[in-house]
Amino acid sequence: MNLAPDSPVAPARQSPARNAGALLVGQLVARLLALAFYIVFARVVGAERYGDFAVGVAFGTLFAILIEPGLNPQIVREGARDHALRIEYVNAAALYKLTAVPTAGLLLVASGLLLGYRGPALLAIATVGFAVLLSQVEEFIAAVITSFERMQMSALLRILNKVVTALAAGAVALATRSFTWTCIAFAAGSLLSASIGLVAVNRWFVPLRFERRCGLGRKIWVGLPLALSDSMSMATMRLDQALASLLGVSVAAIGGYNAAIKMKEALIAVPIVVMVTYAPVLARVLEQRGEFERTFSRLMHWGLGGTVPIAVGTWVVAGPLLEWLFGVEFAAYGPLMRLVFVAYAATGLYLLLFPLVVARHRYRLQAIAAAAVLVVDLALNLVLLPRLGIAGAAWAMIAASLAGAAVLLTEVARARCLAAPALALARSALAAVPMFLVARWLLPIHVALAIAGGALVYLPLYVVSGGLGPGGRAALLRRLRGTSDDAASPR
């Protein structure tokens, strides 16, 4: 089956700085649009129904592990090196994913029925859970575009996805105030968005030809360590909420926890953008020792420089921010949100180490790290959820993310690059201290003023301390003078 007779012209890649900027804007806008939907939805249906929605997301995420057998990172790695290999890998992955989504959807609904879920919870599993499965098609599309290093297109498609899903579902929620119709609208929007993304890939990037003899089995075997890694990572993302539901934690508490998680997911765009932007660059400069070290150092400075202040700032404004956004019913979960954002910092570090591990072709180590995260998270959730309630899930998340980062840091040490994360962490922490004090001082006036004031203190301090990484300040000055720095960017 050939959806496009002619191969599109491969778009020229852009510099890492432009890619990072485009993707950061796209990720933040998309995640903020999603967060806006969750805020509206929570206010309309309340904490209990919002908890049912969270259960649907949790079960969908657990079954989404069937959709990605380690093919996306191979698309990025091989596609960044060879256009012909990119076409081969993209079509093999498309064939697999479009077969796996309906299969996983049937298994998802069957599991909900077998576990005894009925009413709103079962509806959420069937509709919202299916939307989560479709999000894996979106990640496949993002991997294709990342291999071209054309992040502005990826950013536009992500924004379109949230406009079609989150804003449309939010409008339905406000118009009908119906949990049922909102869940259905959310799933329908996800299906439409995934379809638009596939058409865009076929039209502008890679012609989709679904052929049975595409070496899919071999590619899945090669990517098996990555598949295990991704599967365990995805399972960890929502395992705590699924376990909390099965262990009898109240649906309202799960809803409050999920509100904090949605804030974390909106802001995790910062380390994810840096990770995605620099993954193909590190793969390309692997054999150039000096350039590889400089690129990894920039990755760590940009990533941790954005992650640490968000975690510290959220610690200050957690309670008032939840009340301001989600309503008075959620204000009591401020302490829980603080724990979630300690986990956010640990997760950010864990994610930022991925590009080095993948560039050095250490897929098995990535799988070991994901296994460590899953085992620690599962064990601690089973122990802490009955004792601490939903707060146990947050503590488990912190410990699990640190365990995974510790495993990946062994490869960073082997690559003799440990100085980069240490220096980036020290600089960001130093700039975050006065930011913390200013934010606390301004918080009694208004939460938005505390956030803005803290950011205005942090940014110049971090930049002056060298927080833009090797050559970062010089590149910034060239930009401010109107001189292009593309020649200085790794190609």
Dihedral pair phi/psi, residue 209, rounded to 5° = -120, 115
79 & 144 share domain: yes
Q: Does residue 386 sit in the same domain as residue 291?
A: yes
Mean pLDDT of 233-237: 62
Contact 303, 352 (CB under 8 A): yes
Measured from the Cβ of residue 292, the count of other Cβ atoms closer than 10 Å reads 22
345 belongs to a structural domain: yes
With cut-offs at 50, 70 and 90, classify the pLDDT of residue 217. low
Q: Are residues 180 and 289 in the same domain?
A: no
- DSSP sequence for 312-338: HHHHHHHHHHHHHHH-GGGGGGHHHHH
Please say if the pLDDT value at position 348 is more than 80. yes
Residues 395, 397: Cα–Cα separation, whole Å: 5
* Residue 487, in any domain of the structure: no
Is pLDDT larger for residue 117 or for residue 350?
350
From CA 462, how far away is CA 270, in angstroms rounded?
16
- pLDDT confidence tier of residue 475, bands split at 50, 70 and 90: low
Identify whether residues 140 and 268 lie together within a single domain: no
Reported confidence tier of residue 3, pLDDT bands at 50, 70, 90: very low
Q: Which residue segment(s) compose the domain that 42 sits in? A: 1-222
pLDDT above 70 covers a percentage of the chain that reads: 83
What was the pLDDT predicted at 228?
Answer: 64
Residue 30: inside a domain, yes or no?
yes
pLDDT for the residue numbered 471 = 66
Predicted local confidence at residue 231, as pLDDT: 61
Provide the pLDDT for residue 22: 66
Structure confidence at residue 486 (pLDDT): 42
pLDDT, position 484: 43
Same domain, 281 and 200: no
Instruction: Write the CA distances from 327 to 39, 44, 261, integer angstroms.
Output: 8, 10, 16
Q: How many Cα neighbours within 13 Å face the side chain of 39?
A: 17
Whether 186 is in a domain gets the answer yes
Residue 234 lies in a domain: no
Q: How far is Cα 304 from Cα 292, in angstroms, rounded to an integer?
A: 18
Using one digit for the tens of pLDDT, what is the confidence trace for 301-317? 999 999 999 999 999 99
On the question of pLDDT at 346 being above 90, the answer is yes
Tell me the mean pLDDT in the region 153-159. Answer: 75
pLDDT of amino acid 491: 35
Q: Is the pLDDT of residue 199 over 60?
A: yes
| Arithmetic mean of pLDDT, 317-322 | 87
CA 107 to CA 98: how far, in whole Å?
Answer: 15
> Do 98 and 148 share a domain, yes or no?
yes
Evaluate whether residue 489 is within a structural domain: no
The residue behind tokens 């919202």 is 128
Distance of CA 28 to CAs 34, 269, 467, 487, Å? 10, 6, 21, 28
pLDDT digits over 411-462, tens only?
A: 999 999 999 999 999 999 999 999 999 999 999 988 889 999 999 999 999 9
Residue 469 or 406, more confident:
406
Task: Tell which residue, 385, 295, 434, has the closest CA to residue 15.
Answer: 295
pLDDT higher than threshold 50 for residue 38: yes
Whether the pLDDT of residue 148 is over 80: the answer is: no
Amino acid identity of residue 115, one-letter, is: L
Asked whether residue 192 is assigned to any structural domain, the reply reads: yes
pTM of the model: 0.66
Q: Is the pLDDT of residue 200 over 50?
A: yes
- pLDDT category at 20 given cuts 50, 70, 90 is low
Calpha distance 302→466 (Å, rounded): 11
Quick one: 125 and 274 in the same domain? no
Average pLDDT, the chain: 81
User: What are the residue ranges of helices labelled H in 115-178?
Assistant: 119-148, 151-162, 168-176
The residues, any chain, with a CB within 8 Å of residue 294's CB and separated by 6 or more, are 469, 470, 471, 490
Could you tell me if 271 and 214 lie in one domain? no
Convert the pLDDT of each residue in 249-289 to its tens digit: 887 888 888 888 888 887 887 888 788 778 778 888 888 88
Tell me, yes or no, whether 488 lies in a domain: no
φ, ψ of residue 2 in degrees (nearest 5): -120, 115
Q: Would the pLDDT of 89 be above 90? A: no
**369: part of which helix (H) or strand (E)?**
helix 363-388
The C-alpha angle 390, 391, 392, rounded to 5 degrees, equals: 85
Q: Do residue 171 and residue 299 come from a single domain?
A: no
Per-residue pLDDT at 481? 54
Ranked by mean pLDDT, the top range of 30-39, 65-74, 218-227, 339-348 is 339-348
Mean pLDDT to the nearest integer, 392-405: 93
In order, the DSSP letters of 179-238 are HHHHHHHHHHHHHHHHHHHHHHHHHHT---B--S-S-HHHHHHHTHHHHHHHHHHHHHHH
Three-class SS of residue 433? helix
The pLDDT value given to residue 431? 94
Residues 214 and 282 in one domain: no
163-167 mean pLDDT: 81
**% of the chain surpassing 90 pLDDT:** 25
Residues paired with 2 in a beta bridge: 209
Rg of the chain over all Cα atoms, to the nearest angstrom: 22
Inter-CA distances, 20 with 149, 269, 311, Å? 10, 11, 21
Q: What is the pLDDT of residue 203?
A: 83
- Answer whether residue 403 shows pLDDT above 60: yes
| 273 and 347 fall within a common domain | yes
127 and 63, same structural domain?
yes
**How many structural domains are present in the chain?**
2
485 confidence band (pLDDT: 50, 70, 90):
very low
